[in-house]
A = this chain, B = another copy of it.
Amino acid sequence: MASSLHIKGIRKAFGKGDKAVEVLKRIDIDVEPGEFLILVGPSGCGKSTLLNIIAGLEEPTEGELHIAGKNVIGMPPAQRDIAMVFQSYALYPTMTVADNIGFALEMRKVPKADRDKRIHEVAGMLQIQHLLDRRPAQLSGGQRQRVAMGRALARDPQLFLFDEPLSNLDAKLRVEMRAEIKRLHHLSGITTVYVTHDQIEAMTLGSRIAVMKDGILQQIDTPDEIYRRPSNTYVAGFIGSPTMNFIPGQVERSGDSGKFVFEGGSLDLPCPDVQQVTLGQRPEHIHLSDDAPWRGQVVLVEPTGADTYVVIKTAVGLMTVRAPANTKIQVGDTAGMTVSGRHNNWFDHSSGVRLKEMDGHHAP
């Protein structure tokens, strides 16, 4: 019985009068029943605040909020039937791990036996069975975070809210947890809003991603769409790591095809009908090519194991290129770059807004 979540024109300001800080500026999001919405955005953009408002922990300054079709503004958190993982864990310091996990169930009058079973299930899933008798102060950071997760996962709520639940886990565990969350979501179909800073999590977990900046929703779309067709340079730069390369330049038209000219080089690409544009190219779509005419100097070579990122200084700025792990290039070398031409992101130069006309218009 998945519930929908409708956020309508939510505004939130902290403080009063002159000192007021507007943290959310008219957020509208509709989350379908059973959806897994990822919420991303730079630090301090208002993600946690939005979750708090959904949970009923903060009152919005303005706006409406419907859960399962019911207006919940003013309804106390306990009645909203929401499970939440706090960014700051917020573990009960006086309770053991088991009690922390079981508390919400107890509040819902789940019989002791069922509760214990559930606690053990969840603890097993999170690999913290051996810690059940400890208190939060005796746990490591990652262990605390898993307890915080366990507290939410033990329940069967209308809505899950996760605020960076895996940030303190190692990569391996994070992959496992991610898979676990995905599996659980498949099984239960509970509507979920999930804040993360992890690109992989964002791309793989969610059915849609909402990108926020400074309290304003920038884009909300499927991961694939967001990655491939970011609606502005902000989203384009925010999603994907290393970040997308931006090349400001001019379009020089000649009949049907055009040419993109920029300081230090030019590219033969299907171009939009706008003069001043910015071309966005992700690191994996730029290739090193010894004899390419567009050249620059290598300033940084970062092997990450699976790949090596090469940062090249050009007239239009630093370009990051993903190269194979065994690339032999070195700092100080001169490198040429080519662009495949099939993954062009065109943005209006001044507004940064995506030029939609070019979507689906790929070179052969």
Contacts and interface: CB of A to CB of B under 8 A. Distances in A.
A287 interface: no
A172 interface: yes
A204 interface: yes
Given A141-B87, A204-B302, A167 B168 contact: yes
Give the oligomeric copy count: 2
A171 interface: yes
Contacts of A238: 170-172
Contacts of A87: 141, 168
Contacts of A139: 44
A43 B197 contact: no
A1 B303 CA distance: 28
B48 A141 contact: yes
B138 A305 contact: no
A280 to B, nearest CB: 13
Given A168-B167, A305-B199, A173 B140 contact: no
Nearest to A44: B140
B44 A199 contact: no
A142 interface: yes
Interface stretch (A64-72, A240-248, A269-277, A328-336): A240-248
A363 interface: no
Given A168-B87, A305-B223, A305-B240, A43 B141 contact: yes
Interface in A12-61: 14, 40-44, 47-49
25 contacts: A40-B170, A41-B170, A42-B170, A42-B172, A43-B169, A43-B170, A44-B139, A48-B140, A49-B140, A87-B141, A88-B141, A167-B168, A170-B238, A172-B237, A174-B197, A174-B241, A175-B243, A199-B304, A200-B304, A203-B303, A204-B302, A204-B309, A223-B305, A240-B306, A306-B322
Interface of A: 14, 40-44, 47-49, 87-88, 138-143, 145-146, 163-164, 167-175, 197-200, 203-204, 223-224, 227, 237-243, 282-284, 302-307, 309, 322, 325
